[in-house]
Structure 1
Amino acid sequence: METRPAEQLLVDVLLTDHGPCGPYDAYRRLRELAPVLVTTSGALVLTRYDDCAAALRDPALGKADESLGFRLSEVPEELQRRAMQRFRRTMLFRNPPDHKRLRHLVASAFTPRHTEQLRRKVVAQIDDLLDGLSGRTTADMISELALPLPVGVIGDLLGVPLKDRTMAAPLVRDLVAPLEPAADAAAVRRAAEAEDELAEYFSRLLTVKRDRPEDDLLSRLATARGDDVLDDDECVGSAILLFAAGFETTTNLIGNGLAALLDAPDQLAMLRERPQLAAAAVEELLRYDTPVQTDGRTVLESTRVAGVDLEPGQVVLTLLGAANRDPARYPDPDRLDLTRAGPSGLSFGSGIHFCLGASLARMEGAELFPRLIARFPDIRPAGEPVWRPGLSFRGLASLPVAL
């Protein structure tokens, strides 16, 4: 089979703003045409669930600059090096043993046990936000719910002052733009500027935490001793990462999930009548419209993935949204079914880089959705949703509803 048509289809997938329908039909066509695609540049692109899961767990694959995505537009090398220079020194882009050292310092704050201890505070924040919507006829579910809830939760966990959170959140959106395959020089430049601003802010905040530590994660980072001590860039980068990862995926989970429920009134009614389905519903919503669509790896040592022999330096791109709609794993994958049984989706990745905050994001969604639809049983669309551009981070900029 010629790879050129499949490679052109891949480029279309990576460059298109897919909007309400998402990239899923294009994924299906790519999977049917070339489920294991080796591009002319030597990158391996995977769309099947089993192949993606195996690649993410393969210890011969790791993180490097190449895993930031396919550079489909010209970006000066100096600018590429400058952008995300501290972010790239975090656990997200490090391999063992550094990865284990960086993750160990904060991992205990995200265990299922600790997440359960946070449940009461999360529910209180949800109730406060829903109280603020009471008596309203319309609302934007992104700016008034999907964004402020996880920003508030991670802000409390880290110890970011309330007054600073609305300043830092928009900078995160600029910071992660280079993770999009089609990021251009302007986006990378904005990311570099955003990282500089975030680094300056968190450097000051970490200094305060070091002098007057409290019971929060930033204080733990700032006062680490012995084997856990981080250098300045690692400390600042980790603070930025934890704040960014704490809300970016969860905001998309809430927004994408609510949009999917509004498009499937039978499933919305089922969840209203059976709130005990909440945890399973979150898993299905994560699968159905995946918040993070791609995950990249770089080959660290010779290995074989999906039947392809790989050498160090090659890039492996796993299309998580495609894996989550693989009909070999999920019958009728394009249908939303809150009672669906089957394997856990790959929405939070897999292997050593499995999302640290997965249990927290799941808990936030499981507590929010039943409360929202119980408080506003007639919730319905009130205009066209606005989707953010890009592929890697699939989410809404606006979701107007009638309450």
Structure 2
Amino acid sequence: MTISDLVPALETPSAVLARLMSPEGLTNPYPHYHALRALAPVHKAGNIHFLTGYAECQQVLNDPSFRVQDPQWYDANLPGWRDSTATRLMYQSMQSRNNPDHNRLRRMVGGAFSPRRMAEYRLLVERVVGGMLDRMADAGSDGSPVDLMSYLAYPLPTAVIGEMLGVPEEDREHFRGLGIDFFTVMDLYVGDDAQARSDAAAKAMLDYWSGMVRDRRRSPREDLTTELTRARDAGALSEDELLGLLMFLFTAGYGTTAALLGNAAEQLLLNPAEADRLRLDDSVTEAVVEESLRHEPPSQIAPRMTSEDRTVGGVDIPAGQLLVALLGAANRDPAQYAEPDRFLPSRPPGRVLSFGGGLHFCIGAALSRMEGAVVLPRLVRRFPRLAMGGTPVRRQVLRMRLHSSFPVDTRG
């Protein structure tokens, strides 16, 4: 029996998409991805083409003729977007720009992700993770469930991105909820309530980062905030670009890795033989991280636009059309991966699409992978009998596959 055999004969792509966007679908999108792919690997719904096949998503992500939605697109298609603090700042940052602006902004932050800086961040992770695991042990010593997200998955990457940007340690936890709400504006469908929360979070973050920029003008430091502030004062970027870039880097910098750590930990607990292998053999660490990224990509969608008439998956798509690459679907395409729904770190290596591709390949991919590779072995070795301490809860959005809470039992 194949995945296609499981799709009812009278099923339609539109019905599958409707279920994908429902609470049930947002909790577990993968059956709906499979159903949509079996019916139409490239499916047009309204003015959006949804891509669910690995080959189709890879083509679109790697081809520079497919562009991102940028300020010019929003001016034409979303009038008034500059009136919202969240969209004004998010849509002018690096991930929402085409060249030459994309490369201009990317070069300004590239030094913070150099091999030398990566080595420094690794030392930081190795230095702080032990204390976080100790605090987990203390909190769970009486048998109480411990929230893996609050004690490890969020604070660990927040420490790293906070160090990069110069955010004081006492301020970092404050951003957890704000950053997640701010990033919601990047989801595929944003309701009025979510938009209001995103705007409120953006305004609070804007106040904070405006103060950080003023402080760096008075007292420069050895951090990326100072470097970007100097670039702004030299005329290399606008004030909105500066503040949007800082807010995006901080939020994406901890959100993606927090999602990776929570997703990987969950699969290790559900697959204890894989956790045992990781405890005993450092050589499997990279495979565990990659398989988690394939099995549960932190970012599930990557929108692109056609800048010219193109053909994708045998479907002719005119210029100016919006496409959404469903990365979680691509990474579980049975044409690319055998037994795609199983968590199998031992599977032959392949290029996962979890960090996108081409011009817009995630600049923090190596950093996130490094954090996962350091933390996950330490976690399962520190707690050899780590187990579920309750039901994990995920955020009900399509873009980011992220736990809001993940109770674990640390005893033993």
What TM-score does the superposition give when structure 2 sets the normalisation length?
A: 0.90
Q: Give yes or no for the alignment of 1:279 onto 2:286.
A: yes
Give how far 1:47 is off.
0.7
Give how far 1:163 is off.
1.8
Contact kept in structure 2, 1:329 and 1:342, CA below 8 Å:
no
Match of 1:54 in 2: 59
Structure 1 residues 176-233: Cα deviation after superposition (integer angstroms, max 9, x where no partner): 1122233211111221221122112111101111221111111110112798721110
Contact kept in structure 2, 1:252 and 1:395, CA below 8 Å:
yes
Match of 2:4 in 1: none
Q: Give yes or no for the alignment of 1:250 onto 2:257.
A: yes
Match of 2:38 in 1: 32
- For structure 1, the residue ranges without an aligned partner over 5 or more in a row are 70-75
The change in CA–CA distance for 1:393 and 1:67 in structure 2 (over 3 A counts) is farther
The change in CA–CA distance for 1:128 and 1:36 in structure 2 (over 3 A counts) is same
Give how far 1:24 is off.
1.0
Counterpart Cα distance in 2 of 1:292 and 1:225: 30
Match of 1:97 in 2: 100
Give aligned pairs, total: 394
The amino acid that maps onto 2:33 is Y
Contact kept in structure 1, 2:68 and 2:305, CA below 8 Å:
yes
Give how far 1:311 is off.
2.6
Counterpart Cα distance in 1 of 2:21 and 2:107: 34
Structure 1 residues 54-96: Cα deviation after superposition (integer angstroms, max 9, x where no partner): 1012222112269999xxxxxx964785142011111110000
Q: Give yes or no for the alignment of 1:118 onto 2:124.
A: no
Give how far 1:3 is off.
11
Task: Name which structure has the greater RCO, CA cutoff 8 Å, separation 6+.
Answer: 1
Q: Give yes or no for the alignment of 1:132 onto 2:132.
A: no
Counterpart Cα distance in 2 of 1:30 and 1:190: 31
DSSP-derived class of the 1:224 partner: helix
Bigger CA drift: 45-54 or 166-175?
166-175
Counterpart Cα distance in 1 of 2:48 and 2:377: 42
Match of 1:382 in 2: 389
DSSP-derived class of the 1:114 partner: helix
Match of 2:173 in 1: 166
Structure 1 residues 15-62: Cα deviation after superposition (integer angstroms, max 9, x where no partner): 334466x211111111111112122x2421111111101101222211
The change in CA–CA distance for 1:81 and 1:331 in structure 2 (over 3 A counts) is farther
- Give the share of equivalent positions with the same residue, in percent: 37
Contact kept in structure 1, 2:305 and 2:321, CA below 8 Å:
yes
| Residue of 23, 30, 42 corresponding to 2:29 | 23
Counterpart Cα distance in 2 of 1:67 and 1:396: 34
The amino acid that maps onto 1:64 is Q
Contact kept in structure 1, 2:81 and 2:88, CA below 8 Å:
no
Counterpart Cα distance in 1 of 2:217 and 2:10: 55
Q: Give yes or no for the alignment of 1:152 onto 2:159.
A: yes
The change in CA–CA distance for 1:201 and 1:68 in structure 2 (over 3 A counts) is farther
Q: Give yes or no for the alignment of 1:84 onto 2:87.
A: yes
Q: Give yes or no for the alignment of 1:142 onto 2:145.
A: no
Counterpart Cα distance in 1 of 2:270 and 2:309: 46
CA RMSD of aligned residues (A): 2.4
| Residue of 376, 382, 386 corresponding to 1:369 | 376
The amino acid that maps onto 2:39 is L
Give how far 1:148 is off.
0.6
Contact kept in structure 1, 2:25 and 2:32, CA below 8 Å:
no
DSSP-derived class of the 1:290 partner: coil
What TM-score does the superposition give when structure 1 sets the normalisation length?
A: 0.92
- For structure 2, the residue ranges without an aligned partner over 5 or more in a row are 1-8
The change in CA–CA distance for 1:4 and 1:122 in structure 2 (over 3 A counts) is same
Contact kept in structure 2, 1:174 and 1:194, CA below 8 Å:
yes
Give how far 1:305 is off.
2.5
Contact kept in structure 2, 1:45 and 1:317, CA below 8 Å:
yes
Give how far 1:286 is off.
0.8
Match of 1:72 in 2: none
